[in-house]
Amino acid sequence: MTLSYGIILILCLYTAIGVLDQISVQIGPYTPLFAATATGFLMGDLQTGLMVGATLQLMTLGVASYGGATVPDFLSGAIMGTAYAILSGNGVEYGIGIAVPIGLLLTQLDILGRMTNSFFQHKADKYAETGDYKGVERCNVLGILPWTISRMLPIFIGLVFGEQVVTLINEMIPAWVMTGLSAAGAILPAMGIAILMRYLPIKKYWPYFIIGFVLLAFGAEFFSVLGVALVGLALAGMYVTNQNNSGVLATANGNITCEDEEIEIDD
Q: Are 53 and 35 in contact (CB under 8 A)?
A: yes
Residue 120 in contact with other proteins, rule: CB under 8 A: yes
Residue 210 in contact with other proteins, rule: CB under 8 A: yes
Residue 80 in contact with other proteins, rule: CB under 8 A: no
**Which of 2, 129, 258, 262 is in the footprint of other proteins by CB under 8 A?**
129
Segment 95 to 114, residues that bind other proteins, using CB under 8 A: 97, 100, 104, 107, 114
To the nearest whole angstrom, how small is the minimum distance from the Cβ of residue 2 to other proteins? 25
Binding footprint of other proteins, residue count (CB under 8 A) = 111
To the nearest whole angstrom, how small is the minimum distance from the Cβ of residue 133 to other proteins? 6
To the nearest whole angstrom, how small is the minimum distance from the Cβ of residue 212 to other proteins? 3
259: left (phi over 0), alpha (psi -120 to 50) or beta: beta
To the nearest whole angstrom, how small is the minimum distance from the Cβ of residue 21 to other proteins? 9
Percentage helix, strand, coil for the chain under 3-state DSSP, each rounded to 5:
75, 0, 25
Among 180, 169, 193, smallest CA distance to 61 is for: 193
Residue 66 in contact with other proteins, rule: CB under 8 A: yes
Q: Which is nearer to other proteins, 13 or 160 (CB)?
A: 13
Residue 33 in contact with other proteins, rule: CB under 8 A: yes
Among 11, 88, 18, 19, smallest CA distance to 42 is for: 11
Segment 2 to 31, residues that bind other proteins, using CB under 8 A: 20, 23-28, 31
Residue 263 in contact with other proteins, rule: CB under 8 A: no
- What DSSP string describes 31-51? SHHHHHHHHHHHTT-HHHHHH
The binding track of 212-241 with respect to other proteins, each residue x by CB under 8 A or -, is: xxxxxxx-x--xxxx-xx-xxx-xxx-xx-
How many helices (H) and strands (E) in the chain? 13, 0
Give how far the C-alpha of residue 170 lies from the chain's centroid of Cα atoms, to the nearest Å.
28
Amino acid identity, position 145: L
- The DSSP 8-state label assigned to residue 254 in this structure reads S
To the nearest whole angstrom, how small is the minimum distance from the Cβ of residue 75 to other proteins? 13
Q: Which is nearer to other proteins, 4 or 126 (CB)?
A: 126
Residue 177 in contact with other proteins, rule: CB under 8 A: yes
The binding track of 137-166 with respect to other proteins, each residue x by CB under 8 A or -, is: x-xxxxxx--x-------------------
**Main-chain phi, psi angles of 262, to 5 degrees:** -115, 125
**Which of 12, 15, 18, 37 is in the footprint of other proteins by CB under 8 A?**
37
Q: Which is nearer to other proteins, 187 or 252 (CB)?
A: 187
d(CA 33, CA 214): 27
SS (H, E, C) 131-163: CCHHHHHHHHHHCHHHHHHHHHHHHHHHHHCHH
Residue 267 in contact with other proteins, rule: CB under 8 A: no
How long is the chain? 267
Residue 191 in contact with other proteins, rule: CB under 8 A: yes
